[in-house]
Amino acid sequence: MRFQAQASVYLEALSDLDPSVRHDSARLWIRSSPFFPKVSELLPIARRVPVQKTDYPANRVQLLEDAFYHDRTLAAQAWLDLADEF
């Protein structure tokens, strides 16, 4: 129950963001930190995340590139999965 309440507070604080941006921001955070983020830590990440449009694979390419150049995180399996879609 505690986690549901906490998630509700987070969703309310981030409600002005597109749902795909919230999701992708959380994924970027998870790749770069072992700790649960504060809303104030997610907002700068969310500003860098592109809003997903119809060309979803291209947006994932951008996210993977951002993770690599910003966080020096290479998600090899994610790149391989994306390549399979093309």
Instruction: Give me the tens of pLDDT residue by residue for the chain, a chain 86 residues long.
Output: 577 888 888 888 888 888 888 888 888 888 888 888 888 888 888 888 877 665 677 778 888 888 888 778 888 888 888 888 77
pLDDT of residue 13: 86
pLDDT of residue 53: 61
Secondary structure (DSSP) of the chain: -HHHHHHHHHHHHTTTS-HHHHHHHHHHHHHH-SSPPPHHHHHHHHHHSPPP-S-HHHHHHHHHHHHHHHH----HHHHHHHHHH-
Domain locations in the chain as residue ranges: 2-85
pLDDT of residue 73: 80
pLDDT of residue 54: 57
